[in-house]
Amino acid sequence: MAAAFRKAAKSRQREHRERSQPGFRKHLGLLEKKKDYKLRADDYRKKQEYLRALRKKALEKNPDEFYYKMTRVKLQDGVHVIKETKEEVTPEQLKLMRTQDIKYIEMKRVAEAKKIERLKAELHLLDFQGKQQNKHVFFFDTKKEVEQFDIATHLRTVPELVDRVFNRPTIETLQKEKVKGVNNQTRLKRIAKERQKQYDCLTQRIERERKLFVIAQKIQTRKDLLDKTQKVKVKKETVNSPAIYKFESRRKR
């Protein structure tokens, strides 16, 4: 009973999905509705028209005809490949050049330069990267004086303070006055760490100012290339320097 009921339900569903058709052609399958046939036929005709147009274009093409894309395309293994000019710039520089104006770059560079000068004035470049770059030269009259020379005795200080380039008191000063300032080792280490952090910040700002200067030069070079004056490239562009061009000299009227 249940099996007969399920069979009757399936037959009703099949009759609902199918389009009414003569009984002698039911063995051919579902009868397509007209709207589905029209969609399928329109799509077929559209594709055939497109293929016909492509065949006609290929037959009528002139192999000797010149078009400007030929100057940037070369044939590799039967495939046309477009030549791309590679610029020697980092992604950060390229992004900044496309989004910012040269005046904005120059303004940021000047601001960085002022911050660098302010940091240099505060730090006085004392004990930068361990030792100061300048030298102290002593002059003697005889070779014997050079052999007997002792820098601590000559500077009148203790040997432990000879390597210091600032705040180097003499022996008389150390005997007369008490030690002033911080003498706690933990606090001294913290002060030295903070000073090193400031020197690291100064180094980073100097590098940032240099990069901004290079970007400003590259933008200015691209603006100069818009001039129609005849020019010759003297030096290629690199990551750290812009391209150099030599322009034809013209007399101003």
pLDDT digits (tens, 9 = 90+) for 116-151: 988 888 776 555 544 445 677 888 888 888 888 888
Half-sphere exposure of 90 (CA within 13 A, CB side): 10
Query: 28-42, 46-60, 197-211: which range is least confident on average?
Result: 28-42
Segment 39-63 mean pLDDT? 91
- pLDDT score at 249: 80
Residue type, 154: H
Tokens 């609902």 — which residue? 16
Per-position b or e across 203-225, b if 16+ CB within 10 A of its CB: eebeeebebbebbbbbbeeeeee
| Rg of the Cα atoms in the chain | 42
Q: Are 67 and 58 in contact (CB under 8 A)?
A: no
Give the range with max mean pLDDT: 3-17, 66-80, 125-139, 196-210.
196-210
Burial of 7 (0-12, 13-18, 19+ CB in 10 A): exposed
pTM above 0.85, yes or no: no
**Is 70 exceeded by the pLDDT of residue 213?**
yes
DSSP H helical ranges for the chain: 2-17, 34-60, 91-99, 102-123, 143-147, 151-155, 171-176, 185-224
Beta bridge mates, 74 = 81
Q: Which residues contact 138 (CB under 8 A, 6 or more apart)?
A: 149, 154
Residue of higher predicted confidence among 84 and 120? 120
pLDDT band at 48 (very low <50, low <70, confident <90, very high): very high
Segment 199-208 mean pLDDT? 90
Closest CA to 101 of 219, 224, 242, 15: 219
What DSSP designation does 26 have? Answer: G
Q: Which residues contact 243 (CB under 8 A, 6 or more apart)?
A: 218, 221, 233, 235, 236, 237
Question: Rounded to whole angstroms, what are the CA distances from 20 to 11, 16, 112?
Answer: 14, 9, 84
Segment 67-86 mean pLDDT? 75
Segment 34-43 mean pLDDT? 91
Tokens 């030069």 — which residue? 217
Question: What does pLDDT average to over the chain?
Answer: 78
